[in-house]
Chains A and B, each alone.
Chain A
Amino acid sequence: MIRTLIGFALPIAAVWLALGAWDLRRAARSGLVALAVSFGVGIGLSALTTTWAVFLGLPLGGIFVGLDALLWIGLGAAAWMRLRSAPSSAPSASLAPLPKVTALCWVARAAFLLVAVMAVSASLAEYAALPHGQWDAWAIWNQKARFLLRGGRGWTSALAIDFSNPGHPLLLPATVARLWAYAGTETTFAPALLSFSFGAAILASVIGALGVHRARAWMAGAVLLAPEMYLKQVMSQMADVPLGFFIMGTLVVLRKDHVPDWLNAAEARAMLLLAGLLVGFGAWTKNEGLVFLPIVGLLVAWTMIRHGRLRDAAWWAVGLAPGILTVLYFKLIVAPVTPVYVAQQEGGPGILSLVLDPARHAVVWPLLWRTLALWGGPMAEGVVPVAILAALGAALAPGGRSARGVFAVTFLMLAGYYLVYIITPLDIVMLVNTSFNRLLAQLWPTLVLAAFFAGTILRRRSPAAP
């Protein structure tokens, strides 16, 4: 367990120090968000180095662990020395003064603590019952991790197994395999730790983005953790919550609740670089990350045009490159397999005829609506429509820039998933019933964030508000 924790902590600590040393931590605009982003970037980068080690034929044994540890210790040491030699930076003048912590905030914190304790207990109970994770965790993600660890150069035989979706990206299996290499054994603790940590990072992002001194941040945290169906996904050891984190992390870094940040070139570039990295890692986590990519690209383009910073979008592309180039290499060279849910289409005209077929919409729409309305589990059914309405209200409120961005991206993601259901050659009912609950778990955090963003904006626009 100790060795797993060392392998887990090394890249995160190194990235945390590096973000501070190269003045990128300011892009997070919150200590909690900075921690979550360090986690995401650390896990993402270490997954990429592991993936390329495997692609280049280096077995995930002792030599790999030594080189990997050296890499992260070296990066951390370089960042540490730079931090020590650099003059301490003055606090950003653009930050608003912290509001006084109200009685409501203390009540919200207490309720959140209660919910968090129950959520952790439920997570432990799920781990005790399903140490290898839910069905897809062992049939797809952890199985691929075993191929990467045990197979050496022969790991590609995993691509012959149809039921484990050979074209799925490898961020999660590579990370699990890396932790197993550190542990020296295939402990179930590694994927469980990873699964739990992605859930915790989402929570930290939400609370940090909304402001730890505000009651609504802790309310949002409590609401986020309340639905049983979300918690089950957190400990499932599958890739939906990790992708949900990369979506959340990107949107939190790109949030627009403080316009001066976007007017400062250094801060804008830092935000774009980090957002690009997180989007790239999202694409290397699940195919849905490739749906997120063009959608968030639109958000970035809009933001850049609005603030006259179109040239700075290159920083987004620089951040995007490591993840996307790996995805392209994998999808074009290593595993050129079209996902079964969009395979066997007859090109543009065939897809257009499916999109225009009212009979398919008549099947998909009621199915999706029913799943969406019932999502949540005991005492939580109906939370998604309520959250959508609240997020829409926040987006339409004066000063709801961040909520508008987050809501628009979430809406377009849902529209993208809807389109896939419309054009799929698979049995629609089967596909919706086996996937839409998971897809909602990816987007539940962003809906919660959007729903609670409104007040933050209004308070910042109105300095007199308590």
Chain B
Amino acid sequence: MVLLAWSVTAAWAGLQGARRLPVDPMAQLDAEFRPFAGLLPATGTVGYLEQFDNAGTDDAQRMHYAAQYSLAPLVIERRTGAEFVIVARGTERPGGDERLNGYRQIAYLPGEHRLFRRTP
């Protein structure tokens, strides 16, 4: 009886915890990056501008991983130098980022993410 009472109590506590879960931003990020697929080649590697500061934080990582999740089977590498570079919101250094020298912006999406392409 003790065991059963404990099970019910613990399950109730678990249910309350599940109800308090914040909504994960992944669905939103997935939808934000998806339009890039129509502007990029079907396969290959695409660059991704690393956040200019605090690049190792969970939020910065999530943004990069979300781009990868959304745009598979492209491989999204955290570097510049590729033909296309994704500049997610908040990753570019304010006032101009020299890592984007030699690139021009070719698309701007509602989620404030941009796509750059190397200038010929």
Contact = CB atoms under 8 A, between A and B. Distances in A.
Whether chains A and B associate is yes
Given A125-B21, A138-B26, A378-B13, A219 B73 contact: no
A226 B24 contact: no
A226 B2 CA distance: 13
Interface in A95-119: 107-108, 111-112, 114-115, 118-119
B36 interface: no
Contacts, number: 137
A226 B11 contact: yes
A111 B26 contact: no
Contact of A138 (B7, B16, B69): B69
Interface in A122-173: 122-123, 125-126, 128-132, 135, 138-139, 142-143, 146-147, 150-151, 154-155, 157-158, 160-161, 163-164
Contacts of A377: 10, 13-14, 17
B4 A122 contact: no
Interface residues of A, number: 50
Nearest to A132: B26
A108 B3 CA distance: 10
Contacts of A143: 68-69, 72
B9 interface: yes
A142 B30 CA distance: 12
Given A108-B4, A129-B23, A131-B24, A158 B11 contact: no
A228 B1 contact: no
A35 interface: no
B27 A132 contact: yes
B108 interface: no
A125 B23 CA distance: 10
B77 to A, nearest CB: 8
A219 B8 CA distance: 11
A70 B97 CA distance: 56
Contacts of A111: 4-5, 7-8
Nearest to B65: A139
B52 interface: no
A118 B65 contact: no
A337 B6 CA distance: 45
Nearest to B78: A163
Interface in B61-78: 62, 65-66, 68-69, 72-75
A234 to B, nearest CB: 11
Closest 10 CB pairs of A and B: A228-B14, A151-B73, A222-B7, A378-B13, A122-B18, A129-B21, A111-B4, A226-B10, A125-B18, A379-B10
Interface of B: 1, 3-19, 21-24, 26-27, 30, 43, 45, 62, 65-66, 68-69, 72-75
Given A111-B7, A154-B73, 6 more contacts: A114-B11, A115-B11, A132-B69, A138-B69, A161-B75, A380-B13
